[in-house]
Chains A and B, each alone.
Chain A
Amino acid sequence: MEKVTAKVFRYDPSTDNTHRYETYEVPYEKGMRVLGVLLYIQENIDTSLAFRYSCRRKRCGSCGVHVNGKPRLACMDEAKEEMVIEPLPNLPIVRDLVVETTEYEERIQSISPYLVRKNRPEREPEKLFPNNFTAVKPLNQCIECFSCMSACPVNGLKWEGFSGPATLIQLARRMLDPRDDMDRIPDAGQSGFEHCVACYACVNACPVEIGILEEVIDKIKKKYIEKEASVYGKYNKTWGDLIVKNGVVNPFTLMRKISTFDKLLSNMLIGIKFFLKGKISLKSKEIPNIDEIRTIQKVIGEKR
Protein backbone atom coordinates (compact mmCIF):
# COMPACT_ATOMS: atom_id res chain seq x y z
CA MET A 1 0.00 0.00 0.00
CA GLU A 2 1.51 3.32 -1.08
CA LYS A 3 -1.32 5.66 -0.29
CA VAL A 4 -4.51 5.84 1.72
CA THR A 5 -7.69 7.17 0.14
CA ALA A 6 -9.83 8.62 2.92
CA LYS A 7 -13.36 9.80 2.30
CA VAL A 8 -14.04 12.09 5.24
CA PHE A 9 -17.34 13.42 6.55
CA ARG A 10 -17.41 17.23 6.54
CA TYR A 11 -20.05 19.43 8.11
CA ASP A 12 -20.08 22.79 9.80
CA PRO A 13 -23.59 23.42 11.20
CA SER A 14 -22.88 27.18 11.41
CA THR A 15 -22.42 27.51 7.64
CA ASP A 16 -23.51 24.30 5.87
CA ASN A 17 -27.06 23.21 5.12
CA THR A 18 -26.04 19.58 4.98
CA HIS A 19 -22.99 17.38 5.25
CA ARG A 20 -20.68 16.32 2.43
CA TYR A 21 -17.80 13.88 1.96
CA GLU A 22 -14.37 14.95 0.80
CA THR A 23 -11.81 12.51 -0.49
CA TYR A 24 -8.14 12.90 0.42
CA GLU A 25 -5.10 10.93 -0.70
CA VAL A 26 -2.49 10.49 1.98
CA PRO A 27 0.96 8.85 1.56
CA TYR A 28 1.01 5.64 3.61
CA GLU A 29 3.64 4.99 6.23
CA LYS A 30 4.18 1.61 7.85
CA GLY A 31 2.10 1.25 11.02
CA MET A 32 0.01 4.31 10.16
CA ARG A 33 -3.20 4.74 12.18
CA VAL A 34 -6.42 6.51 11.27
CA LEU A 35 -5.34 9.40 13.50
CA GLY A 36 -2.12 9.69 11.49
CA VAL A 37 -4.20 10.03 8.32
CA LEU A 38 -6.36 12.74 9.88
CA LEU A 39 -3.31 14.63 11.18
CA TYR A 40 -1.67 14.47 7.75
CA ILE A 41 -4.80 15.88 6.11
CA GLN A 42 -5.01 18.68 8.67
CA GLU A 43 -1.33 19.57 8.48
CA ASN A 44 -0.83 19.24 4.73
CA ILE A 45 -4.10 19.41 2.82
CA ASP A 46 -6.94 21.06 4.71
CA THR A 47 -6.32 22.87 7.98
CA SER A 48 -10.06 23.30 8.56
CA LEU A 49 -10.66 19.59 9.24
CA ALA A 50 -11.90 19.19 12.82
CA PHE A 51 -11.42 16.08 14.95
CA ARG A 52 -10.67 15.30 18.60
CA TYR A 53 -7.64 13.52 20.01
CA SER A 54 -5.35 13.77 22.97
CA CYS A 55 -3.28 10.89 24.37
CA ARG A 56 -2.68 8.90 21.14
CA ARG A 57 -2.47 5.69 23.23
CA LYS A 58 -5.96 4.40 24.00
CA ARG A 59 -6.20 6.19 27.32
CA CYS A 60 -8.25 9.34 26.89
CA GLY A 61 -11.11 7.99 24.76
CA SER A 62 -11.50 11.25 22.87
CA CYS A 63 -10.73 10.10 19.29
CA GLY A 64 -13.73 7.77 18.76
CA VAL A 65 -14.93 7.86 15.12
CA HIS A 66 -16.65 5.55 12.68
CA VAL A 67 -14.28 3.89 10.20
CA ASN A 68 -16.04 2.10 7.36
CA GLY A 69 -19.22 2.10 9.43
CA LYS A 70 -17.69 0.65 12.61
CA PRO A 71 -16.85 2.45 15.87
CA ARG A 72 -13.09 2.71 16.28
CA LEU A 73 -10.48 4.70 18.17
CA ALA A 74 -8.61 6.72 15.54
CA CYS A 75 -5.37 6.41 17.51
CA MET A 76 -5.44 2.60 17.50
CA ASP A 77 -7.17 1.61 14.27
CA GLU A 78 -4.81 0.77 11.43
CA ALA A 79 -5.15 2.89 8.31
CA LYS A 80 -6.66 0.98 5.40
CA GLU A 81 -6.17 1.56 1.70
CA GLU A 82 -9.70 2.91 1.39
CA MET A 83 -11.56 4.36 4.32
CA VAL A 84 -14.73 6.25 5.03
CA ILE A 85 -14.27 8.24 8.23
CA GLU A 86 -17.37 9.60 9.93
CA PRO A 87 -18.33 11.00 13.33
CA LEU A 88 -19.86 8.68 15.95
CA PRO A 89 -23.56 8.48 15.08
CA ASN A 90 -26.60 9.47 17.15
CA LEU A 91 -24.97 12.58 18.58
CA PRO A 92 -25.15 16.27 17.56
CA ILE A 93 -22.22 17.33 15.38
CA VAL A 94 -20.08 20.22 16.54
CA ARG A 95 -18.02 20.19 13.34
CA ASP A 96 -16.77 17.47 10.97
CA LEU A 97 -15.75 14.51 13.17
CA VAL A 98 -16.30 16.29 16.50
CA VAL A 99 -19.51 15.32 18.27
CA GLU A 100 -21.26 16.80 21.27
CA THR A 101 -21.02 14.15 23.99
CA THR A 102 -22.73 16.15 26.73
CA GLU A 103 -25.88 13.99 26.54
CA TYR A 104 -23.92 10.82 27.29
CA GLU A 105 -21.88 12.54 30.00
CA GLU A 106 -25.07 13.75 31.65
CA ARG A 107 -26.47 10.22 31.60
CA ILE A 108 -23.36 9.03 33.43
CA GLN A 109 -23.54 11.90 35.91
CA SER A 110 -27.15 11.00 36.68
CA ILE A 111 -26.10 7.75 38.36
CA SER A 112 -23.69 9.38 40.87
CA PRO A 113 -20.57 7.88 39.27
CA TYR A 114 -18.41 8.07 42.36
CA LEU A 115 -17.85 6.09 45.51
CA VAL A 116 -20.33 6.97 48.26
CA ARG A 117 -19.21 6.03 51.80
CA LYS A 118 -21.03 6.56 55.05
CA ASN A 119 -17.92 6.44 57.21
CA ARG A 120 -14.24 7.05 56.76
CA PRO A 121 -12.13 3.89 56.60
CA GLU A 122 -10.96 2.55 59.97
CA ARG A 123 -7.37 3.32 59.09
CA GLU A 124 -5.68 5.22 56.30
CA PRO A 125 -4.22 4.23 53.97
CA GLU A 126 -7.04 1.75 53.79
CA LYS A 127 -6.18 -1.92 53.54
CA LEU A 128 -7.59 -3.28 50.29
CA PHE A 129 -7.61 -6.89 49.17
CA PRO A 130 -7.30 -7.56 45.42
CA ASN A 131 -9.75 -10.47 45.63
CA ASN A 132 -12.50 -8.02 46.58
CA PHE A 133 -12.02 -6.09 43.39
CA THR A 134 -11.91 -8.76 40.69
CA ALA A 135 -15.36 -7.76 39.41
CA VAL A 136 -14.61 -4.03 39.42
CA LYS A 137 -11.07 -4.03 38.05
CA PRO A 138 -11.89 -4.67 34.37
CA LEU A 139 -14.62 -2.02 34.50
CA ASN A 140 -12.10 0.58 35.66
CA GLN A 141 -10.51 0.27 32.21
CA CYS A 142 -13.44 2.13 30.59
CA ILE A 143 -12.12 5.24 28.83
CA GLU A 144 -15.60 6.63 28.04
CA CYS A 145 -14.92 6.75 24.31
CA PHE A 146 -18.61 5.95 23.72
CA SER A 147 -17.85 3.36 21.04
CA CYS A 148 -20.29 1.06 22.85
CA MET A 149 -23.03 3.70 22.76
CA SER A 150 -22.39 4.15 19.07
CA ALA A 151 -22.62 0.40 18.35
CA CYS A 152 -25.68 -0.29 20.54
CA PRO A 153 -28.78 -0.77 18.36
CA VAL A 154 -31.14 0.22 21.18
CA ASN A 155 -29.22 3.42 21.85
CA GLY A 156 -29.31 3.98 18.08
CA LEU A 157 -33.10 4.05 18.27
CA LYS A 158 -32.86 6.59 21.13
CA TRP A 159 -35.09 4.19 23.03
CA GLU A 160 -36.81 5.98 25.88
CA GLY A 161 -35.54 5.01 29.29
CA PHE A 162 -32.40 3.21 28.10
CA SER A 163 -29.26 4.84 29.44
CA GLY A 164 -26.88 2.84 27.23
CA PRO A 165 -23.88 0.58 27.84
CA ALA A 166 -21.37 3.27 28.89
CA THR A 167 -23.72 4.42 31.66
CA LEU A 168 -24.29 0.85 32.78
CA ILE A 169 -20.52 0.28 33.03
CA GLN A 170 -20.19 3.23 35.40
CA LEU A 171 -23.20 2.04 37.41
CA ALA A 172 -21.78 -1.49 37.73
CA ARG A 173 -18.39 -0.08 38.80
CA ARG A 174 -20.07 1.32 41.90
CA MET A 175 -22.61 -1.46 42.48
CA LEU A 176 -19.84 -4.06 42.53
CA ASP A 177 -17.39 -2.03 44.63
CA PRO A 178 -17.44 -3.45 48.19
CA ARG A 179 -16.60 -0.01 49.62
CA ASP A 180 -19.68 1.69 48.17
CA ASP A 181 -22.49 2.33 50.67
CA MET A 182 -25.08 3.89 48.36
CA ASP A 183 -28.24 1.98 47.51
CA ARG A 184 -27.77 1.74 43.76
CA ILE A 185 -30.96 -0.23 43.09
CA PRO A 186 -33.10 2.86 42.29
CA ASP A 187 -30.49 4.00 39.73
CA ALA A 188 -30.40 0.49 38.28
CA GLY A 189 -34.19 0.65 37.92
CA GLN A 190 -33.90 4.01 36.18
CA SER A 191 -31.09 2.83 33.87
CA GLY A 192 -33.38 0.78 31.64
CA PHE A 193 -30.98 -2.21 31.73
CA GLU A 194 -33.85 -4.49 30.74
CA HIS A 195 -33.92 -2.90 27.27
CA CYS A 196 -30.50 -4.40 26.48
CA VAL A 197 -31.09 -6.94 23.69
CA ALA A 198 -27.98 -9.02 24.53
CA CYS A 199 -26.59 -8.59 21.01
CA TYR A 200 -22.92 -8.10 22.06
CA ALA A 201 -22.50 -5.14 19.67
CA CYS A 202 -21.10 -3.10 22.60
CA VAL A 203 -18.70 -5.89 23.53
CA ASN A 204 -17.52 -6.11 19.93
CA ALA A 205 -16.97 -2.35 19.78
CA CYS A 206 -15.18 -1.87 23.11
CA PRO A 207 -11.50 -0.99 22.43
CA VAL A 208 -10.47 -2.00 25.97
CA GLU A 209 -12.32 -5.32 25.80
CA ILE A 210 -14.74 -4.94 28.69
CA GLY A 211 -17.20 -7.84 28.84
CA ILE A 212 -20.10 -5.41 28.95
CA LEU A 213 -22.77 -8.08 28.81
CA GLU A 214 -21.59 -10.71 31.30
CA GLU A 215 -19.46 -8.47 33.53
CA VAL A 216 -21.75 -5.44 33.59
CA ILE A 217 -25.34 -5.88 32.46
CA ASP A 218 -25.83 -9.45 33.75
CA LYS A 219 -24.49 -8.37 37.15
CA ILE A 220 -26.77 -5.33 37.33
CA LYS A 221 -29.69 -7.59 36.35
CA LYS A 222 -28.83 -10.10 39.07
CA LYS A 223 -28.52 -7.47 41.82
CA TYR A 224 -31.71 -5.76 40.70
CA ILE A 225 -33.92 -8.82 40.47
CA GLU A 226 -32.73 -10.00 43.88
CA LYS A 227 -34.06 -6.77 45.40
CA GLU A 228 -36.95 -5.59 43.26
CA ALA A 229 -39.96 -7.19 41.59
CA SER A 230 -40.05 -6.41 37.87
CA VAL A 231 -41.39 -7.83 34.62
CA TYR A 232 -37.83 -8.69 33.63
CA GLY A 233 -37.23 -10.45 36.95
CA LYS A 234 -40.37 -12.50 36.48
CA TYR A 235 -39.30 -13.41 32.95
CA ASN A 236 -35.84 -14.43 34.07
CA LYS A 237 -37.12 -16.53 36.98
CA THR A 238 -39.83 -18.20 34.89
CA TRP A 239 -37.25 -19.19 32.28
CA GLY A 240 -35.17 -21.01 34.91
CA ASP A 241 -38.24 -22.56 36.57
CA LEU A 242 -39.46 -23.97 33.25
CA ILE A 243 -36.11 -25.61 32.54
CA VAL A 244 -36.17 -27.32 35.92
CA LYS A 245 -39.84 -28.29 35.47
CA ASN A 246 -39.76 -29.51 31.86
CA GLY A 247 -36.17 -29.41 30.62
CA VAL A 248 -37.22 -27.27 27.67
CA VAL A 249 -39.02 -23.94 27.43
CA ASN A 250 -42.39 -23.77 25.72
CA PRO A 251 -42.75 -20.15 24.48
CA PHE A 252 -46.53 -20.21 25.03
CA THR A 253 -46.17 -21.30 28.66
CA LEU A 254 -43.48 -18.67 29.19
CA MET A 255 -45.70 -15.90 27.78
CA ARG A 256 -48.72 -17.10 29.75
CA LYS A 257 -46.80 -17.11 33.02
CA ILE A 258 -45.22 -13.69 32.70
CA SER A 259 -48.01 -11.71 31.02
CA THR A 260 -50.78 -9.77 32.71
CA PHE A 261 -54.32 -10.29 31.41
CA ASP A 262 -54.28 -7.16 29.24
CA LYS A 263 -50.89 -8.11 27.77
CA LEU A 264 -52.23 -11.54 26.90
CA LEU A 265 -55.24 -9.87 25.33
CA SER A 266 -53.09 -7.54 23.23
CA ASN A 267 -51.14 -10.56 21.96
CA MET A 268 -54.31 -12.51 21.21
CA LEU A 269 -54.37 -11.80 17.45
CA ILE A 270 -50.79 -12.83 16.75
CA GLY A 271 -51.25 -15.75 19.16
CA ILE A 272 -54.20 -17.03 17.10
CA LYS A 273 -52.19 -16.68 13.87
CA PHE A 274 -49.32 -18.64 15.40
CA PHE A 275 -51.75 -21.24 16.73
CA LEU A 276 -53.39 -21.72 13.33
CA LYS A 277 -49.96 -22.30 11.79
CA GLY A 278 -49.26 -24.94 14.42
CA LYS A 279 -46.57 -22.80 16.02
CA ILE A 280 -48.01 -22.88 19.51
CA SER A 281 -48.33 -25.95 21.67
CA LEU A 282 -50.72 -25.37 24.56
CA LYS A 283 -49.24 -28.23 26.50
CA SER A 284 -45.63 -28.20 27.64
CA LYS A 285 -43.52 -31.19 26.75
CA GLU A 286 -41.11 -32.71 29.22
CA ILE A 287 -37.74 -34.18 28.34
CA PRO A 288 -37.62 -37.94 29.04
CA ASN A 289 -35.05 -37.77 31.83
CA ILE A 290 -36.19 -34.59 33.56
CA ASP A 291 -35.28 -36.10 36.94
CA GLU A 292 -31.63 -35.59 36.02
CA ILE A 293 -32.13 -31.82 35.77
CA ARG A 294 -33.99 -31.74 39.09
CA THR A 295 -31.25 -33.79 40.76
CA ILE A 296 -28.55 -31.45 39.46
CA GLN A 297 -30.50 -28.44 40.69
CA LYS A 298 -30.94 -30.02 44.12
CA VAL A 299 -27.25 -30.87 44.44
CA ILE A 300 -26.18 -27.39 43.36
CA GLY A 301 -28.72 -25.80 45.73
CA GLU A 302 -27.40 -27.84 48.67
CA LYS A 303 -23.78 -26.85 47.97
CA ARG A 304 -24.59 -23.15 47.81
Chain B
Amino acid sequence: MKFAYYPGCSPQSTTRELDVVTRKMAKALEIELVNLNGPACCGSVEMRVNDPDLFYAINARTLAMAESQGLDLLTICNTCQLVLAQANQSLKKDGELLDKINQALSEIHVKYSGGVEVKHLLWILLTDVGPERIKRKLKFPLTGLKVAPFYGCHILRPKEALGFDDPDDPKSLEDFIRICGGEPVDFPGKIKCCGFHNLPYDPMLAVTLTGKYLQEASDAGANCMVTPCPLCFTMLDGYQREVNQKLSFQVKLPVFHLPQLLGLAMGMGKDELMLKRNMVSADGILRKIGLV
Protein backbone atom coordinates (compact mmCIF):
# COMPACT_ATOMS: atom_id res chain seq x y z
CA MET B 1 0.00 0.00 0.00
CA LYS B 2 1.53 3.24 -1.14
CA PHE B 3 0.49 6.91 -0.88
CA ALA B 4 1.96 10.28 -1.76
CA TYR B 5 2.47 11.94 1.61
CA TYR B 6 1.38 15.51 2.32
CA PRO B 7 2.42 16.54 5.83
CA GLY B 8 1.24 20.17 5.67
CA CYS B 9 2.69 23.13 7.57
CA SER B 10 1.73 22.41 11.19
CA PRO B 11 3.30 18.91 11.32
CA GLN B 12 6.53 20.44 10.01
CA SER B 13 6.64 22.95 12.88
CA THR B 14 4.27 23.16 15.85
CA THR B 15 3.16 19.53 15.76
CA ARG B 16 6.33 17.92 14.38
CA GLU B 17 5.58 14.85 16.51
CA LEU B 18 2.57 14.10 14.28
CA ASP B 19 4.76 13.87 11.19
CA VAL B 20 7.38 11.69 12.91
CA VAL B 21 4.87 9.33 14.55
CA THR B 22 2.77 9.05 11.36
CA ARG B 23 5.85 7.83 9.52
CA LYS B 24 6.63 5.27 12.26
CA MET B 25 3.06 4.04 12.39
CA ALA B 26 2.88 3.79 8.60
CA LYS B 27 6.03 1.68 8.58
CA ALA B 28 4.61 -0.62 11.24
CA LEU B 29 1.38 -1.02 9.23
CA GLU B 30 3.32 -1.53 5.98
CA ILE B 31 1.98 1.67 4.39
CA GLU B 32 4.62 3.21 2.15
CA LEU B 33 4.64 7.01 2.35
CA VAL B 34 6.27 8.63 -0.67
CA ASN B 35 7.75 12.08 -0.04
CA LEU B 36 6.93 14.73 -2.60
CA ASN B 37 9.47 17.25 -3.81
CA GLY B 38 8.56 20.44 -1.92
CA PRO B 39 4.77 20.57 -1.89
CA ALA B 40 3.57 24.03 -0.84
CA CYS B 41 1.14 25.04 1.89
CA CYS B 42 -2.46 24.37 0.80
CA GLY B 43 -3.32 28.03 1.50
CA SER B 44 -5.71 27.09 4.31
CA VAL B 45 -9.04 28.92 4.24
CA GLU B 46 -7.26 32.22 3.52
CA MET B 47 -5.56 32.13 0.15
CA ARG B 48 -8.72 31.37 -1.83
CA VAL B 49 -10.28 34.61 -0.51
CA ASN B 50 -7.73 36.89 -2.07
CA ASP B 51 -6.03 35.01 -4.84
CA PRO B 52 -8.15 32.08 -6.07
CA ASP B 53 -6.01 31.44 -9.18
CA LEU B 54 -2.82 31.10 -7.16
CA PHE B 55 -4.73 28.99 -4.65
CA TYR B 56 -5.77 26.53 -7.38
CA ALA B 57 -2.34 26.58 -8.99
CA ILE B 58 -0.33 25.71 -5.88
CA ASN B 59 -2.74 22.92 -5.02
CA ALA B 60 -2.82 21.63 -8.60
CA ARG B 61 0.99 21.56 -8.43
CA THR B 62 0.83 19.35 -5.31
CA LEU B 63 -1.83 17.09 -6.85
CA ALA B 64 0.26 16.81 -10.03
CA MET B 65 3.24 15.66 -7.95
CA ALA B 66 1.14 12.78 -6.60
CA GLU B 67 -0.29 12.08 -10.04
CA SER B 68 3.15 11.82 -11.61
CA GLN B 69 3.85 8.96 -9.15
CA GLY B 70 0.49 7.34 -9.89
CA LEU B 71 -0.52 7.71 -6.24
CA ASP B 72 -3.37 9.12 -4.19
CA LEU B 73 -2.54 11.82 -1.68
CA LEU B 74 -2.54 11.09 2.06
CA THR B 75 -3.15 14.04 4.40
CA ILE B 76 -2.80 14.25 8.17
CA CYS B 77 -4.51 17.60 8.75
CA ASN B 78 -8.24 18.31 8.47
CA THR B 79 -7.81 21.69 6.80
CA CYS B 80 -5.25 20.39 4.31
CA GLN B 81 -7.67 17.54 3.58
CA LEU B 82 -10.61 19.86 2.93
CA VAL B 83 -8.72 22.50 0.99
CA LEU B 84 -6.95 20.01 -1.28
CA ALA B 85 -10.16 18.01 -1.76
CA GLN B 86 -12.11 21.17 -2.65
CA ALA B 87 -9.43 22.36 -5.06
CA ASN B 88 -9.28 18.88 -6.59
CA GLN B 89 -13.05 18.71 -6.96
CA SER B 90 -13.23 22.10 -8.69
CA LEU B 91 -10.33 21.26 -11.02
CA LYS B 92 -11.93 17.94 -11.97
CA LYS B 93 -15.39 19.44 -12.52
CA ASP B 94 -14.43 22.61 -14.34
CA GLY B 95 -12.44 21.91 -17.50
CA GLU B 96 -12.00 25.61 -18.22
CA LEU B 97 -10.47 26.19 -14.79
CA LEU B 98 -8.19 23.16 -15.18
CA ASP B 99 -6.97 24.44 -18.56
CA LYS B 100 -6.30 27.91 -17.15
CA ILE B 101 -4.36 26.52 -14.19
CA ASN B 102 -2.43 24.07 -16.36
CA GLN B 103 -1.40 26.98 -18.58
CA ALA B 104 0.21 28.67 -15.58
CA LEU B 105 1.75 25.37 -14.44
CA SER B 106 3.23 24.79 -17.89
CA GLU B 107 5.81 27.48 -17.03
CA ILE B 108 7.27 25.03 -14.50
CA HIS B 109 6.62 22.00 -16.76
CA VAL B 110 3.85 20.60 -14.59
CA LYS B 111 0.42 19.37 -15.69
CA TYR B 112 -2.46 18.04 -13.64
CA SER B 113 -5.04 15.78 -15.29
CA GLY B 114 -7.40 15.16 -12.38
CA GLY B 115 -6.31 11.62 -11.60
CA VAL B 116 -5.73 11.87 -7.85
CA GLU B 117 -7.92 11.30 -4.78
CA VAL B 118 -7.16 13.12 -1.54
CA LYS B 119 -7.60 10.94 1.55
CA HIS B 120 -7.18 11.62 5.23
CA LEU B 121 -5.11 9.21 7.30
CA LEU B 122 -8.17 8.33 9.41
CA TRP B 123 -10.08 7.17 6.36
CA ILE B 124 -7.13 5.22 5.02
CA LEU B 125 -6.74 3.41 8.34
CA LEU B 126 -10.42 2.45 8.38
CA THR B 127 -10.79 1.46 4.71
CA ASP B 128 -7.53 0.83 2.84
CA VAL B 129 -5.73 -0.71 5.83
CA GLY B 130 -8.86 -2.00 7.55
CA PRO B 131 -9.69 -2.89 11.17
CA GLU B 132 -8.49 -6.51 10.99
CA ARG B 133 -5.01 -5.64 9.77
CA ILE B 134 -4.67 -2.97 12.46
CA LYS B 135 -5.95 -5.28 15.19
CA ARG B 136 -3.34 -7.87 14.25
CA LYS B 137 -0.65 -5.28 15.06
CA LEU B 138 -2.03 -4.35 18.47
CA LYS B 139 0.08 -5.43 21.41
CA PHE B 140 -1.61 -3.36 24.05
CA PRO B 141 -5.33 -2.72 23.35
CA LEU B 142 -6.44 0.31 25.33
CA THR B 143 -9.04 -1.60 27.35
CA GLY B 144 -10.94 0.57 29.80
CA LEU B 145 -9.58 3.83 28.44
CA LYS B 146 -12.37 6.36 27.90
CA VAL B 147 -11.44 8.41 24.87
CA ALA B 148 -13.30 11.52 23.73
CA PRO B 149 -13.27 11.82 19.93
CA PHE B 150 -12.80 15.38 18.65
CA TYR B 151 -13.39 15.36 14.91
CA GLY B 152 -12.90 19.04 14.13
CA CYS B 153 -14.72 20.67 11.24
CA HIS B 154 -12.78 20.12 8.07
CA ILE B 155 -12.92 16.34 8.10
CA LEU B 156 -16.74 16.46 8.24
CA ARG B 157 -18.00 19.60 6.53
CA PRO B 158 -18.87 20.40 3.81
CA LYS B 159 -20.07 16.90 3.00
CA GLU B 160 -19.98 17.56 -0.77
CA ALA B 161 -16.19 17.90 -0.74
CA LEU B 162 -15.43 15.21 1.86
CA GLY B 163 -18.27 12.73 2.07
CA PHE B 164 -16.71 10.07 4.27
CA ASP B 165 -18.83 10.58 7.39
CA ASP B 166 -22.33 11.86 8.02
CA PRO B 167 -21.38 15.37 9.26
CA ASP B 168 -24.22 15.33 11.81
CA ASP B 169 -23.62 11.82 13.06
CA PRO B 170 -20.08 10.67 12.25
CA LYS B 171 -18.77 7.28 13.28
CA SER B 172 -15.20 7.01 11.97
CA LEU B 173 -13.32 8.33 14.99
CA GLU B 174 -15.40 6.22 17.38
CA ASP B 175 -14.69 3.20 15.17
CA PHE B 176 -10.98 4.03 15.30
CA ILE B 177 -11.05 4.29 19.11
CA ARG B 178 -12.81 0.91 19.34
CA ILE B 179 -10.23 -0.66 17.03
CA CYS B 180 -7.54 0.59 19.43
CA GLY B 181 -9.45 -1.15 22.24
CA GLY B 182 -10.65 2.07 23.88
CA GLU B 183 -14.14 3.18 24.78
CA PRO B 184 -15.46 6.24 22.89
CA VAL B 185 -17.08 8.91 25.04
CA ASP B 186 -19.92 10.86 23.49
CA PHE B 187 -20.19 14.63 23.97
CA PRO B 188 -21.99 17.33 21.93
CA GLY B 189 -18.86 19.28 21.00
CA LYS B 190 -17.16 16.38 19.22
CA ILE B 191 -18.25 17.72 15.80
CA LYS B 192 -17.83 21.40 16.62
CA CYS B 193 -15.12 23.95 15.84
CA CYS B 194 -12.03 24.62 17.98
CA GLY B 195 -11.66 28.12 16.50
CA PHE B 196 -8.03 27.59 15.45
CA HIS B 197 -8.30 29.63 12.27
CA ASN B 198 -9.16 32.73 14.29
CA LEU B 199 -6.40 32.21 16.86
CA PRO B 200 -3.88 34.69 15.39
CA TYR B 201 -6.26 37.65 15.38
CA ASP B 202 -9.18 36.58 17.58
CA PRO B 203 -7.59 34.43 20.33
CA MET B 204 -10.27 34.78 23.00
CA LEU B 205 -12.90 33.38 20.62
CA ALA B 206 -10.73 30.34 19.86
CA VAL B 207 -9.99 29.78 23.56
CA THR B 208 -13.69 30.07 24.48
CA LEU B 209 -14.79 27.56 21.85
CA THR B 210 -12.04 25.11 22.72
CA GLY B 211 -12.78 25.46 26.44
CA LYS B 212 -16.43 24.62 25.92
CA TYR B 213 -15.66 21.29 24.27
CA LEU B 214 -12.83 20.34 26.64
CA GLN B 215 -15.20 20.91 29.55
CA GLU B 216 -17.95 18.86 27.88
CA ALA B 217 -15.59 15.94 27.23
CA SER B 218 -14.26 16.09 30.77
CA ASP B 219 -17.79 16.19 32.22
CA ALA B 220 -18.72 13.17 30.08
CA GLY B 221 -16.05 11.18 31.91
CA ALA B 222 -13.30 11.06 29.29
CA ASN B 223 -9.79 10.10 30.40
CA CYS B 224 -8.26 11.62 27.29
CA MET B 225 -9.08 12.95 23.83
CA VAL B 226 -8.00 12.08 20.31
CA THR B 227 -8.17 14.27 17.23
CA PRO B 228 -7.30 13.68 13.56
CA CYS B 229 -6.29 17.34 13.13
CA PRO B 230 -3.02 18.99 14.23
CA LEU B 231 -4.72 22.40 14.30
CA CYS B 232 -7.43 21.19 16.70
CA PHE B 233 -4.65 19.47 18.64
CA THR B 234 -2.81 22.77 19.02
CA MET B 235 -5.89 24.34 20.55
CA LEU B 236 -6.99 21.39 22.69
CA ASP B 237 -3.55 20.48 24.01
CA GLY B 238 -1.43 23.60 23.56
CA TYR B 239 -4.02 26.08 24.81
CA GLN B 240 -5.54 23.94 27.57
CA ARG B 241 -3.76 25.88 30.29
CA GLU B 242 -4.91 29.16 28.73
CA VAL B 243 -8.45 27.81 28.68
CA ASN B 244 -8.28 27.00 32.38
CA GLN B 245 -6.79 30.38 33.24
CA LYS B 246 -9.06 32.52 31.11
CA LEU B 247 -12.31 30.63 31.67
CA SER B 248 -11.60 29.51 35.26
CA PHE B 249 -11.90 25.85 34.32
CA GLN B 250 -9.99 22.98 35.85
CA VAL B 251 -9.75 20.63 32.90
CA LYS B 252 -6.78 18.30 32.63
CA LEU B 253 -7.34 16.15 29.61
CA PRO B 254 -4.40 14.63 27.75
CA VAL B 255 -4.90 14.94 24.00
CA PHE B 256 -3.43 12.55 21.43
CA HIS B 257 -2.85 12.72 17.74
CA LEU B 258 -4.42 9.84 15.83
CA PRO B 259 -1.15 7.88 15.35
CA GLN B 260 -0.12 8.54 18.95
CA LEU B 261 -3.23 6.76 20.25
CA LEU B 262 -2.78 3.92 17.80
CA GLY B 263 0.92 3.80 18.66
CA LEU B 264 0.06 3.28 22.33
CA ALA B 265 -2.16 0.34 21.41
CA MET B 266 0.60 -1.01 19.18
CA GLY B 267 2.90 -0.98 22.19
CA MET B 268 5.12 1.92 21.15
CA GLY B 269 6.86 3.71 24.01
CA LYS B 270 6.40 7.20 25.31
CA ASP B 271 9.62 8.43 23.69
CA GLU B 272 8.87 6.73 20.40
CA LEU B 273 5.48 8.51 20.33
CA MET B 274 7.15 11.81 21.29
CA LEU B 275 4.60 12.31 24.06
CA LYS B 276 6.96 14.74 25.79
CA ARG B 277 6.06 17.28 23.12
CA ASN B 278 2.39 17.21 24.18
CA MET B 279 1.70 20.11 26.54
CA VAL B 280 -0.70 18.17 28.77
CA SER B 281 1.14 15.25 30.33
CA ALA B 282 -0.20 11.82 29.43
CA ASP B 283 1.67 10.10 32.29
CA GLY B 284 -1.48 9.65 34.38
CA ILE B 285 -3.19 7.89 31.46
CA LEU B 286 -0.18 5.70 30.79
CA ARG B 287 -0.12 4.65 34.44
CA LYS B 288 -3.87 4.02 34.40
CA ILE B 289 -3.62 1.59 31.51
CA GLY B 290 -0.41 0.08 32.82
CA LEU B 291 1.93 1.39 30.14
CA VAL B 292 4.22 3.03 32.73
Binding site for B on A (CB under 8 A): 69-70, 153-154, 157, 159, 194-195, 197-201, 203-204, 213-214, 218, 221-222, 225, 231-232, 235-237, 239-240, 242-244, 247-252, 254-255, 258-259, 267, 270, 273-274, 277-281, 285, 287-290, 292-293, 295-297, 299-300, 303-304
Contacts and interface: CB of A to CB of B under 8 A. Distances in A.
A296 B54 contact: yes
A248 B208 contact: no
Interface stretch (B37-45, B171-179, B216-224): B37-45
Contacts of A258: 200-201
Interface stretch (B131-139, B190-198, B253-261): B190-198
Nearest to A292: B108
Contacts of A203: 157-158
A235 B208 CA distance: 21
B167 A204 contact: yes
A243 B104 contact: no
Interface stretch (B8-16, B24-32, B282-290): B8-16
Contacts of A222: 49-50
Contacts of B48: 214, 218
B227 to A, nearest CB: 14
Given A274-B14, A287-B39, A299-B104, A235 B58 contact: no
Contacts of A247: 38, 40-41
Contacts of A304: 53
Contacts of A239: 43-44, 46-47
Given A237-B50, A296-B108, A197 B168 contact: no
A255 B203 CA distance: 12
A304 B50 CA distance: 13
A204 B157 contact: yes
Given A243-B58, A279-B238, A154 B205 contact: yes
A47 B70 CA distance: 64
B13 A290 contact: no
Contacts of A248: 9, 12, 40-41
B262 to A, nearest CB: 22
A213 B159 CA distance: 14
6 contacts: A157-B209, A194-B198, A194-B201, A199-B153, A270-B241, A288-B37
Given A278-B277, A297-B54, A243 B49 contact: no
A213 B202 CA distance: 18
Given A198-B197, A222-B49, A243-B41, A293 B58 contact: yes
